[in-house]
Structure 1
């Protein structure tokens, strides 16, 4: 019952992990910062534009209301009976239609208000206890549930020593609707602008960082051996970096070459005196001479081991080495060496599979493990390889060699990779084969392991770079 929930949680964690990984990249940081600043600028600009439009609309309404109050004051007079009246009608017919949204009212303390017909049976409620001789604007409740924008002022007419409260009001529904329409259009426009800016930022960042991605691909090609230098026309900002990387490659090659030369010179310098010592003690049957002979062999094994390590390239081979062809040649050679026991070596290699490395290194690795399998196999060896699925920049293959020999206990398998380790002294060899194999494979970024073979003997599994 919990499997769907667990799967969903796993998917969510994977999505969160991808998002966190993207935000840690240079592209993610540039895009996030640019989008945040652009979004903040658009939001602030939108708020300012909305506020400016609202202020403009309300200011326009307030100016109309103020003009109407001045007009009402101008046409107001006191009749002989002392009653306030207009000496001419207001021309705006909206003041005559009930609940039209435009109203006026003139109030006096203790008297019924003089009001527009549009108010019908409704009266505005001015606070006559507080005098307002300067124009005052506010919003209040109106007839039929309307929200009114009201402008009012206290006026003392020349004909009478009395204070009248002039009020003009309009329904704000149209104003609010206009503001809402403007805000909707503004948000739509800003949303479109944000989308356009986002796309432009994505294109800008992608275009701006493309040289860096190209530089990374060039470095991968150099590491894989496809090229030896970083070539190309780089932007001025990246030219110094490309030049420094090329200088670093040159320096590294010189250091490696010097180290190989020194190791080779030292090894060859030691071989001559070791040969002399070996010749001297070989004919001496004494225990002391035989002990010296054992140590001489050990020294020579160390020298051979480090000479082979110094020769390992560990880089790519450009176009790649066809695995099928090389494995077939090695298999036929091992069959000829073991033809006395009728050894058969079957090769099953994935089509077009290539080794991303040097031919000498491949022959050293495969030759060692197939030769070792030939020494222990009864009559049959299988060699197989296929490309591994991967999302890495450098693909790998799984190379497997099995024999039908006696096999090795699991507890002793790891010991076979130790230098000079041999499980049976009666079988020819120095014990350096698998140690050299692991050294080469690890220098190529791969791995080597042992397990029980399906044929009953030992299986050697190698992870090697492929093309």
Structure 2
């Protein structure tokens, strides 16, 4: 039993496998590319909107700071004592409250600064060694841990040939909060838009690819024998494809019919000369005639084999063939053929199981393997049939026939599928049965294999299309 870690790892690998399979589909590719482009567009758009809002807010703050500098310059004057002062007070009371978040300061080289009461015991530290007569903005550390947005400019007043550095600053906490609120709102809006776009893309892809899924179902019906052609009202883009598929189906039917006719004609044309040769050599007691007779019989067996193979339909049978009903008839016939050893054929078959193929092909396959099991069995043959897990192309069933005979070495199992191969010449047969079985099963898209039977003998395991 697997532990929890192994089970989780298996589940993880299975999930990754399903994801890889989905991304290899046309639906997965369309959805992934559309979502990636939509997501990239929304991310870039969100970044541009956030940058634009931040620039607008900071520009508004900078305009207020510049206006305040112009106001300060307008009310500045030099006293008779040579001291800078304002000829009227500033109307904004925020400059009077300590650490209010709005500050001004006027600095002069080697002189104590003239500053607002709101700075209290704090002092801005401008770099007076570098002159800036044009307005400049910067962010600096302020009092009480504040981050200040500062506007500064060097001014030469008319009354004095001296350079003063005018600075006005404001706390950026409110600006940062406004930008953060906008970004959260923008992120929520973009997330909702992305969700809406994703749902719209899923619906769009599902609706757009629905005709392709319908076309696939129609092809499955054609392959399964439920329909002979692809019918329906298709979008303009798919009409040429549907027409070409129908043309291919018609051409394939003609080629198969022509090939079967040619094989049949050739086989029947050869049978008459072979019959004549066989009659002649049978009447000749010479050793050479006996050798020729052996080869003639081999040629006849090969002709019969290829005649049967040319007849194989390999397609569906409409409503399907009831497996249990047909197998019961074959089993009873095999029991009558082996009355001498009281053969018993046990059946374990789902009553609703149906073979998706032709009755002749089913009888050929099941008849061969049950007959072969009856020849080698000591007294019992077991036949079971069950549905296999759903396949992405078509449903299949497992048909298993076992006997309680001597069995076959594993090294010799593969050889039994070769035409004419027989491991015991004392048991009647041509050696073509299992070869024909494999040919028929493979033409139906299935498989045939041999295993050691639970009854002790040989088990033939078939994978056959089901309904």
Corresponding residue for residue 293 of structure 2: 293
Q: 1:121 to 1:402 in 2, by over 3 A?
A: closer
Query: Any idea what the Cα deviations from partners look like across 1:10-53, whole Å, max 9, x if unmatched?
Result: 44433333333322222222222222222221122111111111
1:65 aligns with 2:65: yes
1:335 aligns with 2:335: yes
The 10-residue stretch of structure 1 (159-168 or 145-154) with the greater mean CA deviation from structure 2: 159-168
Query: Any idea what the Cα deviations from partners look like across 1:347-385, whole Å, max 9, x if unmatched?
Result: 221120111111000011111222233333343333221
Query: Any idea what the Cα deviations from partners look like across 1:218-276, whole Å, max 9, x if unmatched?
Result: 22222222222222222111111111111111111111111100000000001111112
The 10-residue stretch of structure 1 (80-89 or 231-240) with the greater mean CA deviation from structure 2: 80-89
TM superposition outliers: structure 1 runs of 4+ over 6 Å: none
Instruction: Give the Å deviation of 1:426.
Output: 4.1
The 10-residue stretch of structure 1 (4-13 or 220-229) with the greater mean CA deviation from structure 2: 4-13
Secondary structure of the corresponding residue to residue 149 of structure 2: strand
Q: 1:133 to 1:370 in 2, by over 3 A?
A: closer
Give the Cα separation in 1 of the matches to 2:224 and 2:119.
89
Corresponding residue for residue 428 of structure 1: 428
Give the Cα separation in 2 of the matches to 1:133 and 1:139.
18
**Given the two structures, how large is their TM-score scaled by the length of structure 2?**
0.93
The 10-residue stretch of structure 1 (330-339 or 114-123) with the greater mean CA deviation from structure 2: 330-339
* Number of equivalent positions: 467
Corresponding residue for residue 267 of structure 1: 267
Give the Cα separation in 1 of the matches to 2:412 and 2:139.
93
Give the Cα separation in 1 of the matches to 2:410 and 2:165.
106
Once the two structures are superposed, the pairs formed by residues 151-166 of structure 1 within 5 Å of their partners are 151-166=151-166
1:137 aligns with 2:137: yes
Alpha-carbon RMSD: 2.3
Give the Cα separation in 2 of the matches to 1:444 and 1:389.
18
Corresponding residue for residue 214 of structure 1: 214
Give the Cα separation in 1 of the matches to 2:85 and 2:423.
126
Q: 1:49 to 1:131 in 2, by over 3 A?
A: same
Instruction: Give the Å deviation of 1:5.
Output: 4.5
Give the Cα separation in 2 of the matches to 1:50 and 1:411.
74
Corresponding residue for residue 19 of structure 2: 19
Corresponding residue for residue 146 of structure 1: 146
Q: 1:178 to 1:409 in 2, by over 3 A?
A: closer
**Given the two structures, how large is their TM-score scaled by the length of structure 1?**
0.93
1:302 aligns with 2:302: yes
Query: Any idea what the Cα deviations from partners look like across 1:173-203, whole Å, max 9, x if unmatched?
Result: 1111111111221122222222222222222
Give the Cα separation in 2 of the matches to 1:196 and 1:288.
87
Instruction: Give the Å deviation of 1:9.
Output: 4.0
Secondary structure of the corresponding residue to residue 113 of structure 1: strand
Corresponding residue for residue 277 of structure 2: 277
User: Which ranges of structure 1 fall in alignment gaps of 5 or more residues?
Assistant: none
The 10-residue stretch of structure 1 (267-276 or 100-109) with the greater mean CA deviation from structure 2: 100-109
Give the Cα separation in 2 of the matches to 1:186 and 1:94.
32
Corresponding residue for residue 372 of structure 2: 372
Q: 1:276 to 1:57 in 2, by over 3 A?
A: same
Give the Cα separation in 1 of the matches to 2:109 and 2:67.
24
Instruction: Give the Å deviation of 1:74.
Output: 1.9
Give the Cα separation in 2 of the matches to 1:458 and 1:112.
109
Give the Cα separation in 2 of the matches to 1:295 and 1:127.
113
Q: 1:127 to 1:426 in 2, by over 3 A?
A: closer
User: Which ranges of structure 2 fall in alignment gaps of 5 or more residues?
Assistant: none
Once the two structures are superposed, the pairs formed by residues 110-121 of structure 1 within 5 Å of their partners are 110-121=110-121
Secondary structure of the corresponding residue to residue 89 of structure 2: coil
Once the two structures are superposed, the pairs formed by residues 37-436 of structure 1 within 5 Å of their partners are 37-436=37-436
Q: 1:76 to 1:307 in 2, by over 3 A?
A: same
Give the Cα separation in 2 of the matches to 1:43 and 1:379.
76
